[in-house]
Structure 1
């Protein structure tokens, strides 16, 4: 029960107690006053009637008529004349029922007024004793009406006081509502600070909570910086800042075997002509500067190109994987142009024959060693063409190139014609048995005979044509239909560009509100690069989805870990670590330390951590030891 409700209950109890006490005192005082007045009336009426009867002849008929006249006109309960011997001479008694007040009220508040008594004389002798009692129903009527009027005034006063009190309490408890909202946000893993109120008691509470939030954020920032430093140390080349050989090859393997990117792409090899000679000629420091300049150009080539990454393969050999560029010639030309304009002019005077560039195409499922062999062959041809030259080999299978209009028709009809479907891959706990949820992955059936296309085959073109919104909505509908007929939980992926679309968020909210029974079993995840590219939109979407009861996560997490401190404001339920960190984890102690720290930080925020790209069940014990809560990958799907 909220503090405001408790405060209102306390006020109501106090007011009721105060009213009850005041009513009891008021009713008892009124009863005492009316009882005294009734008794005085009895005495006065008895003396007056006795005096009248003393002056009359004591004829029995005359006396009885006088008493009857007084009884009928005076609202008496009884009038009685008793002789000195004790015989009743005249008696009149009211035989009606009490109707002025409820019987329970009469029984609860009895009125005991003594009857009036007087002597009736007959000359010098005593004729009899007169006793009478006025009827008390009018006293009860007055007392009952007074009580009802007091109750009505109390109710009226309570309503007025309640309306005024509500406004006052709202004003007083407004800072309290902010404190409650902050506490609820912290419970949902949103670490927010609020303005300190003027109320001293609440100010101390808010200050303490703000200090706690600030310490948590500082701790997360410090831990994120430490882990980012460790990540760079483990997965970056110390001189160039590019990906290390192991990390780059792991990323390349993910592109060749996964389905997150397009089926075809380009692989570019950059080789310095003779690094050993340059090291002797330029000296160690100058050679490092040359390599740093090369690394900077290659690193910048991946800006705004998801998945494109450069790495140092060995001494003077570097590679760039370009999943968004299907043409090896275009990829090689782009890298060559960047090097000749942004790097070569600074060193051509000292090293005229500085580098060569070779580009080859790859396709999903291709053996990595075969790809590297073809790149070496292309490099040999580039070297044969002279200093600072390039060569590209366009051989390799790809989908037939479709015009833009045909792509638009294909994707639009896929949504409306039921050619989109979901396949499910299990996400299991650390024991490898208990399923945490199933990940629903989209497929496109282009024709009845061929195999379905994976997401990487058509989603890049859908993003280019701004068609990710209807596709993602269709994916959510398919997941809801599956949940309504099956058991378990399902996670679906949302495209990076979709989350920034306001209409999509509105349509998604309306759809989920129609199926509130499945929201608890529906999970949404967005690629990390999309989260940080549209961070504010993702935060709003995550807040909306969690209000509806859904769970929210980030997939392919770990590429932009320097911004990981922003997670404190999202209230995430889970993150899925990028496969590049997980593949071969048993043989990379540096990544083990990094992932253990990442899991510890995520658990501090109440976030579940899931490993992706797990190639063997034998890795599960180590992953559990590092702190992972679940895992998924090709080694767990069989």
Structure 2
């Protein structure tokens, strides 16, 4: 208001907010009555523009001799902005208090000396401390933290945060001991609180209960790393520990050894008494083995009836003694199931883990090979692996090749070549050749069957290879009309395992029906050894396909002399004279006579002969003079590729 506005001004009471007027008048009366030395009041007054402003009014009364009020002399200070700030601060504080009361985390605040000045209801519940009891106490007394595994006391995270002047978040759960002594696991975050100048004025600790989630994670972790049937470490966890042991061995920190144990009679129990008995047997054997190894060693069920034992701080000799103890324990164990008692045995392979080992896979492969050697040596025995063990090295190579062959089948890395078969006594109308298999390895190099066929036979992969060859050879012949028209005879090799496969003959017949090929143009070659070993099966196989018109050849003939007696009864069309006799035919009279004899016997039994390894013109001329019908070898033609692999 301006001075002129105040002349003849309305009653001052009309300027005071109605809600504040009674309080202001009471304060004035108290002052005039001498109850207060000055009049002081905080209230609202109307501004000239009509809005209400907050003021602090301070005044003293002037009274006459009779004590009647003449006037008030004083000042009024506009504090509207301060009042608005106070109200905003109050609302913010109220909101913070409600938030702290409502959130699901425990919250504790302290002053700069880490003395508790606030604790919310969740923190009360988690720590067991009430607010009135906790206030004024050191944070270490209210929030007592310990390592979750070792139970060693930990420095309070809030104290650490205040000292380092930065937020601290727990990287793993900590064990919190409540006021009543009960335990729970919590995760926490601590941060310093700064004043307006940036100095640390206190701190806040926020934490929540993770006991249930920790227990769930523990169970999940246990299930992920343990075999549920036996309670032992599973293969994945075992390989992880084996990896750590190998790193330690390479750093020469400790010595380790691995035992690979296989229960010899498990299949008998499983097949005769059922899977429940097999499961019970594995559980009992697992417990038996666990009782025989040291606490620091790792016992694992690797799968099936196979167990692995990682021996720490153990030389090879000590590992052999441990393996012998385990073998003896299994041997003395009796498994009882429904009044039946079984004696067991254990074949154990032992390998040292040294800095020379390449990786975990090679260690397990060596141990498995040693275990197989123990089985093949008579079972219920221990076999140690040595790097110069020729048999084990061969077996390891075969195991590696088995995996590579399966991968090659899946990835389409096989190829077909053909090798011409030349008539020696009279010309023939059309092409006559044998299909040869080649494998393209991971680096794109061509590998001949001699490098992988033994592994394929040992691990039962040859039937799958034979199926691939027949299916792709037939598909190629169907797609190449000129080749098919010019073809007199195409020879395809079959393994002895395929002859013993009940599903293989229907597969071959089905391929003929699907392709529509003239069966008389196809000749299947089977080795003399396979034919003699499974004479009746081979005979049935040959007779069934001969009804379709197929031809047959007996491959590598002469390497098994016991077969001569079978020959006159064996319904094949060709004898292939083994190349070991043909190669030295020019210099070795015995080999020459062997070729002559086989050729004559073949002709006497109504069969044509094919000599392998005809590597030059002189050998071909000699074979011609001996009356051999056909020659095959580098002297006739080099192998030529007819079907590329699916992988470039």
Give the alignment's TM-score, normalised by structure 2. 0.35
Give the alignment's TM-score, normalised by structure 1. 0.36
- 1 or 2 for the larger relative contact order (CA 8 Å, sep ≥6)? 1
Indicate the structure with greater strand content. Answer: 2
Indicate the structure with greater helix content. Answer: 1
